[in-house]
Amino acid sequence: MPKGSDLLVAALENEGVDRIFGVPGEENLDLLESLRTSRIELVLTRHEQAAAFMAATHGRLTGRPGVCLATLGPGALNFSTGAAYAHLGAMPMILITGQKPVMNAKQARFQIVDIVASMKPLTKLTRQIISAASIPATVRDAFRVATDERPGPVHLELPEDVAAAEFEDASVIPIHSLEHPVAHGAALDRAADAILAARRPLVMIGAAGNRPSLVEALSAFMTRTRLCFFNTQMGKGAVTGCSGLYVGTAALSEGDYVHEAVERADLIIAIGHDTIEKPPFLMKIAGGPKVIHIGYQSATVEEVYHPDIEVIGDIGASVEALGARLDGKLSVDEGMLELRQQILARVNDRAEEDRFPPTPQRIVHDVRKVMPDDGIVSLDNGMYKIWFARNYRTQVANTLLLDNALATMGAGLPSAMMAAMLYPERRVMAICGDGGFMMNSQELETAVRLGLNLVVVILNDSAYGMIRWKQAVDGFRDFGMSFGNPDFVRYAEAYGARGSRVGAVEDLVPTLEAAFADGGVHLVDVPIDYSENTRVLVDELRNRRPGVECA
Ligand SMILES: Cc1ncc(C[n+]2csc(CCOP(=O)(O)OP(=O)(O)O)c2C)c(N)n1
Ligand SMILES: [Mg+2]
């Protein structure tokens, strides 16, 4: 007779799950046995946090929840950061954890933590599965909740005795397709009128504009309207093509060159802005451009974001309907195109400077050179994220993965591993600081074991560079930011990966090319000169405009 864990696996198969990432414990053994004979692949990681980052990235890249598995107490708690990453980043994911039996307590309170409660602020929904009979409905509901806008993580706790309980009916609830509700015609008319009345409209693409299902509709809208656009950090790479209309990425909240376009605009059409991101511009109550919010959900009203018009509903359907209302009625904004040239030229300043260690601008430039249009770059969190957000140009949607929501260190490598598993035919590169890399570097073993093709760049400044920079900008003395590093080449080799070190600026491109040509997991240690942080992001921008807020 099937048992609870068989039913859970059948329900996961029913949802189309093909992989589960995780670290099992004693409390997962029934589930593990049910997985062993299923179509689902178990991908072991070396830390639960990495499993959760991988599952979240699966959700982010495919729109279908990634699934991860851990034991009770300590294993489940290691999921916390991954859950928060998916929750803030709106990535659909299912976290499954074990628990001691609920009907007896033969181990007293050993290892017991109230994980359902601990997951409350970190997930959209957290539930203990209380009986085998409830599994089909619980799993169906979990996937719906995880996938519905705004997507996010759902936690299910499976106690040992529920996993082992026999149950004669193994049927699962069939899936049906669902469309998002569409915006009201009156809201679309109001937005179209405002765009037609505006003299200098500008589009901003935010995090929710970057859902995988939106690529076609959004790219078509940009091509059809020929409106110039900028994006938030997490809205970067939401459209394919349209690069002639791209004005820049708002890596800072104000004062950067891209903000000249914001200041010039009299209307901003914010597509999918999620205020979980660091503000891409600061909206004022009086003065400044008016804002139309196009979202799956109403705008959250913030001090710095309080749109004047809202179009709520499926973003894809909204931009299609808006495009039809605007068709042939918009004229090209030559002034904006001219400003665009100036902004991009200034952002690209010194991209080919040949000093050694290389500058962040040069590293961005050289990485772009070795990455084909469809190559995927996955960033960890550190100072270089601002430079990549600002300077890296994307041509194809979802080719720059960065986290401007939880902005946690440690996700860059697992996230790149997920991309490499999903798209084995594309070049994938993780870019990490020496601090962030070491927070999940044990996953090199997983990457090697899985036979992934992956280049991991470590930007080496022997410090928590971003915080060190902020410390200096805020006038504090240099303190508590430096550390030593292992020999990264030998470190890679110890895992059965390859390693190289860049010793001259002209070696960067050939070293990266050789690493890709080599195949497998290849770690590249790149020293970085961070003096540009202050020269550009403080001094240069401050001269452009006083009172610049630093990143
Ligand atoms: C888990 C976590 N801990 C601490 C921070 C705060 N933090 C943000 S960036 C940063 C420094 C990153 O150092 P590194 O990875 O070496 O990158 P760098 O800035 O030096 O290029 C720190 C400590 C964070 N975002 N996430
Ligand atoms: Mg560093």
- Protein residue whose Cα sits closest to atom 3 of ligand 1: 409
The pLDDT assigned to 545 comes to 45
Q: Which atom of ligand 1 is found nearest the CA of 530?
A: 21
The pLDDT assigned to 539 comes to 79
Residue of 365, 369, 340 lying closest to 354 (CA atoms): 365
Q: How many CB atoms lie within 10 A of CB 10?
A: 18
Ligand 2 center–CA 143 separation, angstroms: 38
* pTM of the shown model: 0.96
| Whole-Å CA distances, 41 to 9, 17, 35 | 11, 9, 8
Q: What architecture (CATH level 2) is domain 350-540? A: 3-Layer(aba) Sandwich (3.40)
The pLDDT assigned to 168 comes to 87
Ligand 1 center–CA 436 separation, angstroms: 6
Domain with CATH 3.40.50.1220 in the chain: 185-344
Residue of 385, 461, 391 lying closest to 430 (CA atoms): 385
Ligand 2 center–CA 289 separation, angstroms: 38
Ligand 1 center–CA 380 separation, angstroms: 9
Residue 21 CA to residue 70 CA, distance in Å, equals 9
Mutate to test the pocket of ligand 1, among 81, 88, 409 (most ligand atoms within 8 A of CB): 409
Pull the structure tokens for residue 88: 């803030």
Whether the Cβ atoms of residue 191 and residue 292 lie closer than 8 Å to each other: yes
Whether the Cβ atoms of residue 126 and residue 155 lie closer than 8 Å to each other: yes
Tell me whether residue 394 is exposed, middle or buried, using C-beta atoms within 10 angstroms of its C-beta: 0 to 12, 13 to 18, 19 or more.
buried
Ligand 1 center–CA 411 separation, angstroms: 11
Q: Which ligand is nearest to the CA of 460?
A: 2
pLDDT per residue of the chain (551 residues) written in tens, 0 to 9: 899 999 999 999 999 999 999 999 999 999 999 999 999 999 999 999 999 999 999 999 999 999 999 999 999 999 999 999 999 999 999 999 999 999 888 888 899 999 999 999 999 999 999 999 999 999 999 999 999 999 999 999 999 999 999 998 889 999 999 899 999 999 999 999 999 999 999 999 999 999 999 999 999 999 999 999 999 999 998 998 778 999 999 989 999 999 999 999 999 999 999 999 999 999 988 888 999 999 999 999 999 999 999 999 999 999 999 999 999 999 988 999 999 999 999 888 889 999 999 999 999 999 999 999 999 999 999 999 999 999 999 988 899 999 999 999 999 999 999 999 999 999 999 999 999 999 999 999 999 999 999 999 999 999 999 999 999 989 999 999 999 999 999 999 999 999 999 999 999 999 999 999 999 999 999 999 998 888 877 777 777 643 334 33
Residue of 401, 408, 342, 329 lying closest to 85 (CA atoms): 408
Residue 219 CA to residue 240 CA, distance in Å, equals 6
- For the domain covering 185-344, report its CATH number: 3.40.50.1220
Domain with CATH 3.40.50.970 in the chain: 4-164, 350-540
Ligand 1 center–CA 487 separation, angstroms: 20
Q: Which amino acid is at 129?
A: I
Residue in the structure block whose two tokens are 């992934």:
452
The pLDDT assigned to 397 comes to 87
Q: What is the homologous superfamily of the domain 4-164 according to CATH?
A: Thiamin diphosphate (ThDP)-binding fold, Pyr/PP domains (3.40.50.970)
Residues 6+ apart with CB under 8 A from 413: 50, 378, 380, 430, 432, 437, 440, 441, 443, 444, 447, 456
DSSP one-letter string for 128-159: E---GGGHHHHHHHHHHHHHSSSP-EEEEEEE
Ligand 2 center–CA 320 separation, angstroms: 44
Q: Which ligand is nearest to the CA of 430?
A: 1
Quick one: angle between helices 465-473 and 383-391, nearest 10?
Answer: 90
Q: Which atom of ligand 1 is found nearest the CA of 439?
A: 1
Tell me whether residue 512 is exposed, middle or buried, using C-beta atoms within 10 angstroms of its C-beta: 0 to 12, 13 to 18, 19 or more.
buried
- How does 54-80 read in b/e, with b if 16+ C-beta sit within 10 Å? bbbbbbbbbebbbbbbbbbbebbbbbb
Residue 140 CA to residue 148 CA, distance in Å, equals 12
Mutate to test the pocket of ligand 1, among 464, 479, 525, 533 (most ligand atoms within 8 A of CB): 464
Which residues line the pocket of ligand 1, CB cutoff 6 A? 381-384, 407-410, 433-436, 459, 461, 463-467
The pLDDT assigned to 544 comes to 67
Ligand 2 center–CA 417 separation, angstroms: 21
Q: Which atom of ligand 1 is found nearest the CA of 459?
A: 21
- Protein residue whose Cα sits closest to atom 11 of ligand 1: 464
Residues 6+ apart with CB under 8 A from 348: 361, 391
Return mean pLDDT, the chain: 95
Residue in the structure block whose two tokens are 């050179």:
369
The pLDDT assigned to 303 comes to 93
Q: Helix, strand, coil: what percent of the chain each, to 5?
A: 40, 15, 40
The pLDDT tens digits of the residues spanning 218-267 come to: 999 999 999 999 999 999 989 987 789 999 999 899 999 999 999 999 99
Mutate to test the pocket of ligand 1, among 434, 440, 466 (most ligand atoms within 8 A of CB): 466
Q: Which atom of ligand 1 is found nearest the CA of 408?
A: 26
Whether the Cβ atoms of residue 532 and residue 518 lie closer than 8 Å to each other: no
